[in-house]
Amino acid sequence: MNILVTGGAGFIGGNLAEVFVADGHDVITLDNLDPYYDIGIKEHSIDIARERADEGEGSYEFIDGDVRNQDLVTELVSQVDVVYHQAAQAGVRTSVDNPRKPNDINIDGTLNVLDAARDSEISRVVLASSSSVYGKPEYLPYDEDHPKTPVSPYGVSKLAAEQYARVYHEIYGLPTVSLRYFTVYGPRMRPNMAFSNFVSRCLNGKPPVIYGDGTQTRDFTYIDDVVDVNRTLLDTDIADGEILNVGSSDNIDIRTLAEVVRDEIDPSLGLEFADQPTGDAQHTHADVSKATEFLGYEPSTTIREGVSQFIDWYKANRNWYEALVLNS
């Protein structure tokens, strides 16, 4: 297939592009290399995808551009069969400081993709949404019908984007699927996330820093599970028009996560605490039964398995990744 991955140099987008190329597909990635975090990580993802293209049957092309460029988006969408729309201004805390930027990228950029797809022969648009749409839990785990009361501008922008995708399916017949990701982690993840910060500090002999009292809980989803569910959507239209949770179906409080990371690296370290930022959700926990029903989704990596795998990857890639983590 011919596939467009917007945000294709980012964490999830870069992993998708790499796997799709390795599977023999022809992949175009669109990314503006926004320095929200060190672009060296994004450049590394581009290099890996190019290496996969050199090794196999798939092809890879990187386009330095922005989803807010409607003409460019329209041109690229016209060349492909499927769009994986991962491009977004990430970061709850960033959105609190500057709510207009996620609005411009996450909503207007999404509309550019949807409009381009509506006017093409595209077979599907797969949209990256977020558990941030839920906000304040009335019950856990979240199912897709849970009320949506996002507590950050980022959450509002992702909710608007997925609802536009739903409406474009219902009104225009555009095949869309929105995946609500729950705190994805793994190789090449953003260095400003709690998970990567814990590992970085512990490997450097420093105690992990917990924001808040550590009772917040998260449903951490390993990147391989996210890649697998996106792969499934290449071959089926059964979920068209749907919005699906993609999580691990498990959760862990942040203090325990810090202790698990610390104990694997250096049990002698203590814990440090800092103020919890505005806009952070208190709890997330995914009910993935709908994704299981439609796509056969079964998360395969527990949080403790994921901790070990990420630490092993981090150690193997420490020469280039650690400098970027410490500078971010």
**Model confidence at 36: pLDDT above 90:** no
Can you give the pTM of this predicted structure? 0.94
Tell me what the mean pLDDT of segment 313-328 comes to: 76
Active-site amino acid positions: 154
Where are the strands (E) in 224-266, listed by range?
243-246, 252-253
Cis ω before 277 (30° cut-off from 0)? no
CB atoms within 10 A of CB 298: 12
**Sign of the dihedral defined by the CA atoms of residues 299, 301, 303, 304, in that order:** positive
Q: According to the model, what pLDDT value does residue 91 have?
A: 83
- Mean pLDDT for all residues in the chain: 94
pLDDT above 90: percentage of residues in the chain: 83
Q: According to the model, what pLDDT value does residue 138 have?
A: 94
Tell me which of 276 and 15 has the higher pLDDT: 15
Beta 82-85 vs 2-6: how paired, if at all? parallel
Tell me which of 93 and 143 has the higher pLDDT: 143
- Tens of pLDDT, residues 266-298: 999 999 999 987 767 788 999 999 999 999 999
Q: Which of 4, 94, 5 is nearest to 42 (CA)?
A: 5
Helix, strand, coil percentages (3-state) for the chain, rounded to 5, are 45, 15, 40
Q: Which residues of 50-60 are buried (b: 16+ CB within 10 A; e: fewer)?
A: bebbeeeebbb
CB 113 within 8 A of CB 6: yes
- Tens of pLDDT, residues 48-57: 999 999 998 8
- Tens of pLDDT, residues 87-133: 999 888 889 899 999 999 999 999 999 999 999 989 999 999 999 99
Q: According to the model, what pLDDT value does residue 192 have?
A: 78
pLDDT above 70: percentage of residues in the chain: 98
**Model confidence at 144: pLDDT above 80:** yes
Q: According to the model, what pLDDT value does residue 327 have?
A: 55
**Model confidence at 2: pLDDT above 60:** yes
Q: According to the model, what pLDDT value does residue 328 have?
A: 47
Q: In what helix (H) or strand (E) does residue 171 lie, and over which residues does it extend?
A: helix 153-172
**Model confidence at 206: pLDDT above 90:** yes
pLDDT confidence band for 38 (50 / 70 / 90):
confident
**What are the structural domains, with CATH classification, of the chain?**
2-189+221-249+285-301 (3.40.50.720)
pLDDT confidence band for 194 (50 / 70 / 90):
confident
